Structure 1
Amino acid sequence: MEQAIRQQCQDGVLTLTLDRAAKRNALNSAMYQTLAEALATAAHDDAVRVVLLQGSEECFTAGNDLGDFIGKQSLSEDDPVLRFLHTLAGFPKPVVAAAAGAAVGIGTTLLLHCDLVCLADNTRLCLPFIDLGLVPEFASSLLLPRAVGHLRASELLLLGEPFDAQQALAMGLANRVVPAQALLQEAATLAAKLATKPPRALQQSKALLKQELRQAVHFTIDTEARAFAMALQGDEAQTRIAAKLGRR
């Protein structure tokens, strides 16, 4: 059985590593299930103070596994995808993300829910939902305009063109950009620093930072998911996704 998520907990840091290199770490239902369960357990585990989410120095994730997604009829409440989205959005402890190479679709939108984001100088981010006949997900229609402004968010989502790490940094979507070979160590250092902080104060501070949009984020995740599921079954998405899978 494919073990596409590696987990390691050391010195208060739970590291979740996407490890499906043959598919450029594309996320499928099994991976979402593993991630959701790992986060749900970590939320109540005193041994975990911080979560570090990463891929490799060459690739974070190419987004959703389209072959896995195209057969979905709906995104119900207990679907592994929605479970992961809500679990990460409501996760009470700090989350550090380290993204190198491809950070496509969910590989970009999940960064909006992390507390510290490190990018490599080779990172290429992209939000190609419309080109696939789909709509934004993971509350990106809410969070992205607040992060970068309406006009820039419209450009990123409506045009769906790739942008690099320095552009992401300038827009406020990352804390720092480092050479690819230094990325994982840089992110691990940040996570280790957070893990030394008083955990209760750390979690309360995160909760205060997130409180204004907490309910709106979860509401938007569900609203987008319904629109996404409808779009997924539409002619535009079916045609575009089938063509993309055919090219592969």
Structure 2
Amino acid sequence: MDNLILSNEKNNVLTITLNRFDKKNALNTVMYSELCRLFEYAEQNSAIHCLLIQGNEQCFCAGNDLADFLQHDGSEEFVAFKFVKQLAAFSKPIVVAIAGPAVGIGTTLLLHSDMVFSTNDAKFKLPFTQLGLCPEAASSLLLPLKMGHNKAFELLVLGNTFTGQQACDYGIVNHCCESKVLLSTALTAAENIAKLPADAVQTSRKLMKKSTQAQVEQAMINEAQDFTRLMNSDTCKSILSAFFK
């Protein structure tokens, strides 16, 4: 279970690498806890000016580990909710590199990021309702704001798969590039951001997010309540259990 999340600090950039490739970087409780720790470290460390999140040139994140859902008894807050709250409250720029699958949280975390680079053939998917669940990470608010209700409904409720190029057209991704240059392109962008005056960058980012911050916080509260209720429903448990038969 060690080294499921790798981190490296250089040139005022903290690079976080998802490193569970045998499970397509599906996030489990251990990984979420480490992400929370790293985000807190980056928030408190004045030497870190930018965060870079990546997998490798073939895989980003297949979403939540479904086994964790089945094991969760509802007695305490699901650690994924703690992570998305930290993600939304984070004060420094976030750059993300996407290749291969970007499922569930692998897509919704991008709505809180500042620059996203993807391969053209990356596969984005928000399969919440197909699992008997509902949107999370304030995606029920942010995705309609970004692309309108109808297109957001198609992605969030129908769960249609879309490519990196489509994600770029939707405004979720900044730029598409070939897989062989994905990680270097994202790192260069993060380092360029980190070279700028940190206070000016973080103040600008804060001002851009200020008008929706309270709405985002409330959306996360609402989503967490319904997500937890649905996660404990017979319908959801039956769907998730079928994956392990």
Band of TM-score, shorter chain: over 0.9
Cα deviation digits, residues 48-85 of structure 1 (max 9, x gap)? 000001111111000000001222133845x4212211
Report the CA distance between 1:135 and its aligned residue.
0.5
Let me know the Cα RMSD of the aligned residues: 1.1
> Quick one: structure 1 residues 17 and 82, their matched pair in 2 at CA, closer, same or farther if it must change by over 3 Å?
same
CA contact (8 A) 2:128 2:135 kept: yes
Letter in 2 for 1:208: L
Give secondary structure in 2 for the equivalent of 1:242: helix
**Counterpart mapping for 1:149-228 below 5 A:** 149-228=148-227
Q: Which residue of 2 aligns with 1:130?
A: 129
CA contact (8 A) 2:132 2:230 kept: yes
Give secondary structure in 1 for the equivalent of 2:60: strand
Give secondary structure in 1 for the equivalent of 2:48: coil
Cα distance in 1 between the residues matched to 2:123 and 2:65:
18
TM-score by length of structure 2 reads 0.97
Give secondary structure in 1 for the equivalent of 2:3: coil
Cα distance in 2 between the residues matched to 1:226 and 1:161:
25
Q: Which residue of 1 aligns with 2:3?
A: 3
Q: Percent identity?
A: 42
Report the CA distance between 1:141 and its aligned residue.
0.2
Q: In structure 1, list runs of 5 or more residues that go unmatched.
A: none
CA contact (8 A) 2:119 2:176 kept: yes
> Quick one: structure 1 residues 75 and 155, their matched pair in 2 at CA, closer, same or farther if it must change by over 3 Å?
farther
> How many residues matched?
245
Letter in 2 for 1:245: F
Q: Which residue of 2 aligns with 1:40?
A: 40
Report the CA distance between 1:2 and its aligned residue.
2.3
Cα distance in 2 between the residues matched to 1:88 and 1:136:
16
Letter in 2 for 1:33: S
Q: Which residue of 1 aligns with 2:73?
A: 73
CA contact (8 A) 1:127 1:156 kept: yes
